[in-house]
Amino acid sequence: MTGKLSGKTALVTGGSSGIGRGILELFVAEGASVISCSRSACADDLSELCQFSQLDVADSSAVDAFADSIERIDILVNNAGVQVEKTVTQSTDADWDLVMGTNAKGVFNLCRAFIPKMITGGSIINIGSISGNVADPSMALYNASKAFVHGLTRSIAVDHGPSIRCNAVCPGWIETGMLDAGFDIAKEPTNAKQDALQRHPVGRFGKPADIASMALWLASEDSAFASGQLFTIDGGMSAASPLNPGLF
Amino acid sequence: MTLENKTALVTGGRGGIGRAVVRRLLKEGATVYAADLTESGSLNAHDEDGSRFIKLDVTSESDAIDTAALIKKEQGKLDILVNAAGIEIEKTIEHTSLEEWNQSLAVNATGTFLTAKYTLQLLRDAAKDGTSSSIINFGSYDGFIADPGLAAYCASKGAVHALTRAMACDHGPEGIRVNAICPGYIDTPMLQSFFEGEGSGGQGGSIDSLQQAVRDVHPLKTYGTPEDVANLVYWLASDEARYASGQLWILDGGLSAQVQQMHI
């Protein structure tokens, strides 16, 4: 590793698993001092890598109290997110509170509490989604929450530049528990997975490390002129029209 | 009849979508010139519909000049220009010859440029009475996301999208509105040739099952008709669309609103 983040302090929400864990590990390897949080308790091996707190990002007073305990950060990665696989008519108030609370209000809470902690400027990296641009079926609140993230990303870039840059990474299908949950509800999970693979020009699903690479670039000075943008990392999937593979 | 006293030119006016556009504009009372390579066009037949036929190769500068001169002489102005002429080469870049590439760009992009360039003064003249004139180009949802084996087509439609915005910026102050319609799958001779073509990978399967599979991937469970497209052309051509300019209007039954579908 090249120490691209040495001397920097990074806060990565939802760092205990999936994409967040991938980002956390890469940032540590690049020399950053990392702070992380999750709703769940600290995973056994995580406490050696970072300073960890149990936190629900949807709870604004808890987020404010958490921020009070931290003097400064240089990099904020808003990764914590949840999904509920339902249409609008199936979704309950509790679903709304969970999905919008974590994915939308959580990003807002963290930005509001930590922008003042980015004393000499810095980089905010939000995890958006290709689903914030086009719709995944039966993911209504998730899709909408990610579109919120995309909009807030642009607002923060406009309002808090030049000292703070803010961008979003829009992952496609990344091998995490969230993707497995999608295949689990398919009638034939094996076929569904094979079909989905064929929709990826690069011939595979993404890995958390693929998203971490983009997050590192956005966190580093290599991206000094990038702000307010959405960067899609999806193995080429959304460049192709949504027709069945092998039709033509 | 809201297009009374308006004159329209439709290139590709004897083709699948063009012919439906011509019919709709006539129904709304416009005087319509249907321009195409031949009077029968891609449907290989011609029914008298009240339009005036102009033989036009959109890739020919002299044809574009002659077309504009004819309309100037007969009408003195042009209110509506619909650039519907288009071709599709069903190949990857590896299998596309330079000649095929040039022809794709010539018809789909250069044709739009030439026809608009030489009718521009007539469109300005039509806008002098205070109502705007309207250019409607044909982009495609393929100008945003790619279908396999359609490289030159996708590229040419991307060019039309950018040209549409550029023309809207340049000629809006002259009272000319410029928009593009970006159709998805529309039931035309071009689509049928795509289904039957070498690149279609019909793979021995029946055309019927292939067509049904394509319908099924649309949220509305069908592909569109030329009349669906003509309805939008009519609106963009009419004064009701007086504030619409510089936009790309996707009309695809919801196809491109989706992420790639997980088979559930």
Number of domains in chain A: 2
Q: Pick from A164, A79, A60: which is nearest to A126 by CA?
A: A79
Cis peptide upstream of residue B183 (ω within 30 degrees of 0): no
Work out the average pLDDT over A153-158: 97
For residue A232, the distance in angstroms to the closest alpha carbon of chain B comes to 13
Domain assignment present for B257: no
| Claim to verify: residue A73 and residue A190 sit in the same structural domain | no
The CATH number of residue A132's host domain is 3.40.50.720
Residue B203 within any structural domain of the chain: no
Phi-psi region of A171 (alpha: psi -120 to 50; beta: other; left: phi over 0): beta
Question: Is residue B200 less than 8 Å (CB to CB) from chain A?
Answer: yes
Q: Which DSSP string do the residues of A15-71 spell out, in sequence order? A: TTSHHHHHHHHHHHHTT-EEEEEESSPPPTTTTTTSEEEE--TT-HHHHHHHHHT--
Name chain A contacts of B210, Cβ cutoff 8 Å. Answer: 247
Chain B nearest C-alpha distance from A10 (Å) = 32
Going B218 to B219 to B222 to B225, the CA torsion angle's sign is: negative
Residues of B with catalytic roles: 153
Chain A positions touching B145 (Cβ under 8 A) are 238-242
Q: Is residue A241 situated within a structural domain?
A: no
Are residues A194 and A127 part of one domain? Answer: no
Q: Is residue A4 part of a domain?
A: no
CB A187 within 8 A of CB A193: no
Q: What predicted TM-score, i.e. pTM, was given to this entire model? A: 0.86
**Segment B97-145, tens digit of pLDDT:** 999 999 999 999 999 999 999 999 999 999 998 889 999 999 999 999 9
All residues of chain B having their beta carbon less than 8 Å from the beta carbon of residue A179 are none
**Over the stretch B74-84, which tens digit does the pLDDT of each residue have?**
999 999 999 99
* Within a domain: B94: yes
B204 pLDDT higher than 70: no
Instruction: Catalytic residue, from A52, A66, A142, A217: name it.
Output: A142
Q: Which domain holds residue B168?
A: 7-184+226-251
In this prediction the ipTM stands at 0.77
* pLDDT value at residue B262: 62
Does A190 reach chain B within 8 Å, measured CB to CB? no
- pLDDT > 90 fraction of chain A, expressed in percent and rounded: 79
Tell me if A137 and B199 make a contact (CB, 8 A cut-off): no
Is A142 catalytic? The answer is: yes
Is residue A246 in a domain? no
Same domain, A141 and A100: yes
CA distance B37 to A117: 67
Nearest Cα residue to A86 out of A98, A94, A78, A95: A95
For residues A216 and A222, what is the distance between their CA atoms, to the nearest angstrom?
9
Residue B198 lies in a domain: no
Residue A212 lies in a domain: yes
Nearest chain B CA: its distance from A153 CA (Å): 21
State the average pLDDT over residues B64-77: 98
- Confidence grade of residue B190 (pLDDT, cut at 50, 70, 90): confident
Using the Cβ of A187 and the Cβ atoms of chain B, whether some distance falls under 8 Å is answered with: yes
Instruction: Quote the strand ranges of chain B, DSSP E.
Output: 7-11, 31-36, 52-55, 80-83, 133-138, 176-183, 248-251
Q: Which residues of A touch B261 (CB under 8 A)?
A: 137, 242
